[in-house]
Amino acid sequence: MKTKLSIFLSVFSLVCFSQTINTPTIPAGGAEFALRTITGTSASVAIVSTVQVSGAWNFSAAVTATSSNFNLKPVSASPSGSLFPLASHVRRIGTNEEAYVGYNGNQYTFHGNPQGMLGGPQKRYSTPLIMHVFPITPNQVPYTHTGTGTFQAGPFTVTRTDIINVTWLASGSLTMPTGESYPNAVLLKVLRTNSDNNPQDPNGPYVSTIDMYHWWVDGYPVPLVETRVYTPPPNQGQIQYSSTFRTPQSEINVQGNNSDIITNSTITNTLNSTDFGSTIIGNVITKTFKIENKDLGKLTISNMSLTGTSFSLVGLPSFPINLAGNSSVSFTVAFKPNLVGPNLGLITINNTDADESVYSFIISGTGLLDVSLNNINLEKELVNVFPSPTNDILNVNAPVGSSIKISDINGKVIKLLSIEMINTSINISDCEKGIYFVEVKTSHGLNTVKIIKD
């Protein structure tokens, strides 16, 4: 991608505010970031190794390439995780594992690679490299740390010494290529020097460097922007330039009774409150549900809807609802059955999760007849819809003069007809497989039954 990201050094600029980077809290399932990059073998293609220290960094004009998402996962998610017992997480780009790192107390540590950064053998550090110590504070004293390890290069055992130098430069606002803005970012100058020594090689040691700038924002476990100039050992390849932009992602989850509700679920149960149980017609049962954002990026809920005449949403806040990372919001659903027998509803949550932007699930409850009313006419109007599942014929028992509406799960009306006999058979062989709702309207009210077409 031929784009020059020119950032010029201005050491005399004043920083008008400062920001502290505290120890990050990483969700139990890890964190995901959308990744955009600029790479090349020439400084004019990607970056220059000088950075403006003005306290305002705007990358909105940078032309970047989309890459596979960057993931920070628990080390237990890696098939090679047991080889790095002191690491807590594995860094991935797409499905490719990049590095093993640790977040232990106030230290961010590097434990090695499943393969070298640019290919080569697996590298495991017996002494992890302390890359950062939290909190990162304004004008902190520059520090140097060293990590060591050995690895095999063919028949030879190579000893690596990895030295990192970190210098605090400035605080300021950061604007990403995709437009997201962070008012309190911190810029660090980071230089790593790797020295690989093989006693049997008279040309060693082989020294490479990674000259970097890191833009950190409080609350995130990795820098959101990172520039690199990788210089290999002499005669070992070309200098590599890159800029990486990481945008935090959101992850929606819904719970009832502290149990997860799977999106598109068509099965209800009392454990996660999707089954409201039974109550007499006219009475009310309420259940509270929780929408969680289980990642670090902002989750926006644009709206919610509920279909099903016996259910209603109670006390919703105004939309849109913006959920910060690792936060949640609750809502309540009231079940007031107006039908004897099964009552169904469908909750739909529209949101900005990248792969679950429409989060929906079915809720159910059963309406009971209050026999103390001795309402003979009501008893005569009980509706029966069967069988379910069915392949072709659906039977409906209902009073003459009732109407039937069959809709798919998206609300599209498939069939409309009137009942001329108490026992009515309906051919649905032309319907696609899936879930349908059968609404039978009698003189008493509306009955809704869920069926499954095989």
User: What average pLDDT does this structure show over 123-142?
Assistant: 94
Alpha carbon 277 to its chain's center: 32
The overall average pLDDT reported for the chain is 87
The pLDDT of residue 408 is: 87
Please check whether residue 339 is in contact with residue 367, taking contact to mean a CB–CB distance below 8 angstroms.
yes
Q: Which of 241-255, 289-303, 331-345 is least confident?
A: 331-345
**pLDDT above 70 coverage of the chain, percent:** 89
Tokens (6 digits) for 300: 């926006």
| Residue 38: band (very low, low, confident or very high) from pLDDT cuts 50, 70, 90 | confident
Which residues have C-beta within 8 Å of that of residue 379, sequence separation ≥ 6? Answer: 369
Residue 139, pLDDT score = 92
- Neighbour-count burial for 184-223, b at 16+ CB within 10 Å, e otherwise: bbbbbbbebbbbbebeeeeebbbbbbbbbbbbbbbbbbbb
pLDDT in tens, 401-443: 889 999 888 888 999 999 888 788 899 999 999 888 888 888 7
pLDDT class of 42 with cuts at 50, 70, 90: low
Residue 281, pLDDT score? 87
Q: Which tens digits make up the pLDDT trace of 302-330? A: 999 999 989 999 988 889 999 999 999 99
pLDDT (mean) for 25-46: 83
Radius of gyration of the chain from its Cα atoms, rounded to whole angstroms:
30
> What pLDDT was estimated at residue 386?
84
Distance CA 88, CA 73 (A): 9
Asked whether residue 1 carries a pLDDT value surpassing 50, the answer given is: no
- The predicted model gives 291-307 an average pLDDT of 96
Residue ranges covered by each domain of the chain: 31-248, 250-370, 375-454
End-to-end CA distance of the chain: 50
Mean pLDDT computed over 216-231: 95
CATH number listed for the domain at residues 375-454: 2.60.40.3080
Stretch 284-312: mean pLDDT: 96
> Hey, do 250-370 and 375-454 end up sharing a CATH topology, with the first three levels equal?
yes
Residue type, 110: F
Nearest to 257 by CA among 274, 247, 272: 272
Predicted confidence at residue 444, as pLDDT, reads: 75
Considering the entire predicted model, what is its pTM?
0.75
Please tell me the CATH superfamily of domain 250-370, with its number: Immunoglobulins (2.60.40.10)
Strand order, beta sheet including 275-280:
275-280, 358-368, 341-351, 299-307, 321-323
pLDDT tens column, 57-111: 999 988 889 989 999 999 999 998 999 999 999 999 998 888 999 999 899 999 9
In angstroms, the CA 313 to CA 366 distance is 18
The residue with greater pLDDT, 370 or 164, is: 164
- Report the range of poorest mean pLDDT among 12-16, 247-251, 357-361: 12-16
